[in-house]
Amino acid sequence: MGKLRLDLTLSSARRYMSALRVTKKAMPTETKEKELRNIGIIAHIDAGKTTTTERMLFNSGATRCIGDVDDGDTVTDYLDQVCNGMRKKCVARGVSSRIQPSDTPFAERERGITITSAGVNFKWRNAFVNLIDTPGHVDFTVEVERVLRALDSTVTVLDASAGVEAQTLTVWEQANRYSLPSCVLLNKMDKEKANVSDSVKSIQEKLSVVPIVTQYPVGVGKQFCGVIDLVSLKKKLWKEDSSRNLTVMTETQIDDWRKNAKLYDEALRWRESMLHDLSDVDDEIATKIIQSSRLNDISTSDVQAAMRRATLSRKAVCVYLGSSLRNVGVQPLLDAVVDLLPNPDESLPDFVEHFRGKLCAVAFKVVYDSLLGYLTFLRVFSGMLKPGQRLLVTRTGQHEKTLRLYRAFGEQLQEVDSVSAGNIAVVTGLKEASTGDLLCSSLPDGVDTEALLLTCGTNFPEPVFFSSIEAGSAVQQQALDKALERVCREDPSISVKLDEDTGQTVLGGMGELHLDITMDRLKRDFGVDAYMGPLQVAYKETIAQSVTDALTFSRVIDDRKHLCVLKITAFSADDQNLNGKRFKFVNPRRTGENEHNLASIKPYQWKAIENGVKGALRAGPFMSFPVIGVGFYLEWFEVGPGTSHIMITAAAATLVQQILKQSGTVVMEPIMDLEIIVDGDYLSPILADLSTRRGVLSNIGSRQDLKVVKAAVPLAELVGYSTAFRKLCSGLGTFSMQIGQYAALDPKLQDDLAQKMFGFRPR
């Protein structure tokens, strides 16, 4: 296992550590949509995502030499000090034996920014491929979430010795929310424990999709040197070329290798299985099979067409075999990207239809450059984007003007006059646009803005860990505030708020590692000397019972009477009803008595009521935690003449606070889905430790000679777990976790929490 080199060669330093360069070179002819592929590589940490990316770039001719993760000189690498810091933190936490540099979402180059962290691009055959980078670590799932909106499809990389792992499943589910087709690479086929059958089984069971194995492996373990293409029945071998220190692919026709009868018969058996699997998900190929006297009579073009239909419909995923480190199997994977995955016109999200050819784009990444200011990466879904154009930021309702327009090519930003639909653009000049924002020339007529934003928006989960953060001195407070503002805009999963009771600034994130890296970035990139307090868990509150109440809210301000009458019912709602929101107003419950009353509510009044409810839910009556899992019915609404929307908001907030007190609230704690992979010799102490942490065991499985433990454990019990875990398994295991759900805290533990927070137990 290598380590990152700190002494990069001069050529590598020039290549990867140079400042951002902006050019006005002639751009290639605008690529037609059908020739575009916007893809992302998704994987569990250490599955070989970065290595696969590097081999794709090399084989396409985009780079002249192959970078190596362990050498720290890949195109998607960041600063060595960042990679080393990440590696040390991950190893210390028992997360992985090796952290890949591309798993760091924050890293910037010494001068300028890391353009390749947002995407690299290359040509393969007749297609132009935009490959957008995604991290593989669980603490950075939000980084993946924001990138997925810009993609049309994905390539899923699995370790052939491990199959589908925890973070693979998480990212797969994220991609499913955006209906992204995918193909799968079983990487590391040269490992002794690589097993195609087990990996394919895990795809079917865990990803709930039909795997179509398209290749037969030639060689096992370290002898793996090629594949037989089950579509064309060609043998593809990769042989070492010592003069260039890489492997070169050669293809062999059937006539040249048919003498190897055993290999041929086994490949035919696999091909037959592939065709049967394909016929289960595609009626056209099933009909052709029925009409053919022999399976061998099915043409290559018919099979290829069926594979593409199955991929685009997301009924199946085509599975390829390879070893990216040895450059084996990468070229067929690139062929699959072009032949099977959709072009932008074939994967348009539903919300794009509303714009009918007008400009519509989504910001999927915002980064700051010391020379150019904020750079906003946009995926253009329809229309044409030009420099100097006024864009409506639908979230804020404000217009902003772009200054300059670029496309990212390798290490350069190349200034362009326009970017068409389907492409990735980089713009300067946007001061308020953030990651996940929908930008357009104007809103479509007759479209509900909130519903539109809900359809196209990015789902950012709320932070689960909090910590106070303080500047090293009063002089640095302003610098800290400015740095935090920039970090939040670039990374929406980071939250910053002011605790009104203590006056402290509170930093929120998705995990311990996430907060650690953010602190490192404040010191390294912004030069801010800051200190972080103890970690705190993000508890919530929810109502104990349904309550209906009414309020007559009357105020006289400057001799002007404001009157508002409200009647609201609050009830407990599960996550499915809330659709990911903290609260939800169910359609007004209209009866014969109130139907006319509720039908007369104006949109601005409805918005004012919702703002009041939202404000009241920021702090519950029990321990002042945010309130979640609540649904509301509006039963009655009256407003006096001249009553301002501010008074309506105040009335709604007052009534909801009143309802929460009547109902009473219970504390909810985050429950983490924990997956542990450990040698069987250490299973007993691991399980014993989980039982002391209130863990609920869900499954114990096997993966070769390793044990895979899945459990649900309260996050409060996992603070500092990495240190204990490392001791329990002598450093010979890994774990990953992600937020599963919120569950009610035991009453005794609620009292203990109140004692800890306030110094007394509630009666």
If asked whether residues 379 and 318 sit together in one domain, one would say no
- Arithmetic mean of pLDDT, 257-265: 73
576 vs 49, residue with greater confidence: 49
In a domain, 25, yes or no: no
If asked whether residues 499 and 640 sit together in one domain, one would say no
In this structure, the strands spanning 412-415 and 21-23 are: parallel
Q: Which domain holds residue 367?
A: 356-456
If asked whether residues 394 and 475 sit together in one domain, one would say no
Structure tokens at 692: 């002391």
Pick from 186-190, 426-430, 690-694, 720-724: least confident:
720-724
CATH of the domain at 362: 2.40.30.10
Pick from 2-11, 435-444, 717-726: least confident:
2-11
Structure tokens at 307: 């594979």
* Spatial distance between the Cα atoms of 332 and 217, rounded to a whole number of angstroms: 13
Q: Is residue 582 scored above 60 in pLDDT?
A: no
Cβ contacts of 265 within 8 Å, gap of 6 or more:
none
**pLDDT band of 307, cuts 50, 70, 90:** very high
- Arithmetic mean of pLDDT, 185-199: 93
Q: Is residue 370 scored above 90 in pLDDT?
A: no
- Arithmetic mean of pLDDT, 248-264: 71
* Spatial distance between the Cα atoms of 16 and 600, rounded to a whole number of angstroms: 62
In a domain, 23, yes or no: no
**pLDDT band of 5, cuts 50, 70, 90:** very low
Pick from 92-96, 212-216, 703-707: least confident:
92-96
Cβ contacts of 606 within 8 Å, gap of 6 or more:
none
Helix axes 512-526, 80-92, angle to 10 degrees: 150
If asked whether residues 477 and 613 sit together in one domain, one would say no
Structure tokens at 639: 């407003």
If asked whether residues 521 and 552 sit together in one domain, one would say no
Structure tokens at 326: 């040895």
Q: Is residue 419 scored above 60 in pLDDT?
A: yes
* Spatial distance between the Cα atoms of 117 and 138, rounded to a whole number of angstroms: 17
Q: How many Cβ atoms from other residues are within 10 Å of residue 686's Cβ?
A: 21
Helix (H) or strand (E) holding 599: helix 595-599
Indicate the residue type of 683.
L
In a domain, 524, yes or no: yes
Last residue in a domain, options 538, 572, 598 = 538
**Predicted pLDDT of residue 141:** 58
Angle at 551 between CA 548 and CA 557, to 5 degrees: 155
If asked whether residues 422 and 533 sit together in one domain, one would say no
In a domain, 550, yes or no: yes
379, 383, 432: which is closest to 408 by C-alpha?
379
Specify the DSSP class assigned to residue 30: P
**pLDDT band of 257, cuts 50, 70, 90:** low
Are 241 and 326 in contact by the 8 Å Cβ rule? The answer is: no
Are 430 and 400 in contact by the 8 Å Cβ rule? The answer is: yes
* Spatial distance between the Cα atoms of 87 and 93, rounded to a whole number of angstroms: 10
Pick from 94-108, 251-265, 418-432: least confident:
94-108
* Spatial distance between the Cα atoms of 596 and 617, rounded to a whole number of angstroms: 29
If asked whether residues 224 and 175 sit together in one domain, one would say yes
**Rounded to two decimals, what is the model's pTM?**
0.69
Specify the DSSP class assigned to residue 534: -
**Predicted pLDDT of residue 83:** 38
- Arithmetic mean of pLDDT, 155-179: 87
Each residue of 82-98: b (16+ CB within 10 Å) or e?
bbbbbbebbbebbbbee
- Arithmetic mean of pLDDT, 588-617: 80
**Predicted pLDDT of residue 754:** 84
**pLDDT band of 330, cuts 50, 70, 90:** very high
**pLDDT band of 585, cuts 50, 70, 90:** low
Structure tokens at 67: 């970078």
- Arithmetic mean of pLDDT, 595-604: 80
Query: Could you give the dihedral angle defined by the CA atoms of residues 478, 480, 481 and 487, in that order, rounded to the nearest 10 degrees?
Result: 150
**pLDDT band of 586, cuts 50, 70, 90:** low
Structure tokens at 294: 């022999």
**Predicted pLDDT of residue 665:** 92
If asked whether residues 219 and 334 sit together in one domain, one would say yes
If asked whether residues 107 and 238 sit together in one domain, one would say yes
Q: Mean pLDDT of all residues in the chain? A: 80
If asked whether residues 130 and 149 sit together in one domain, one would say yes
Q: Is residue 589 scored above 70 in pLDDT?
A: no
Overall number of domains in the chain: 5
In a domain, 717, yes or no: yes
In a domain, 27, yes or no: no
If asked whether residues 258 and 320 sit together in one domain, one would say yes
Q: Is residue 19 scored above 70 in pLDDT?
A: no
Are 322 and 187 in contact by the 8 Å Cβ rule? The answer is: yes
**Predicted pLDDT of residue 10:** 29
Pick from 492-496, 649-653, 659-663, 671-675: least confident:
492-496
Specify the DSSP class assigned to residue 491: -
647 vs 116, residue with greater confidence: 647
In a domain, 533, yes or no: yes
Structure tokens at 617: 């839910």
Query: Could you give the dihedral angle defined by the CA atoms of residues 455, 460, 462 and 466, in that order, rounded to the nearest 10 degrees?
Result: -160
Question: In whole angstroms, how far apart are CA 352 and each of 150, 384, 443, 579, 746?
Answer: 13, 14, 11, 21, 46
In a domain, 3, yes or no: no
**Predicted pLDDT of residue 319:** 97
Q: Is residue 73 scored above 80 in pLDDT?
A: no
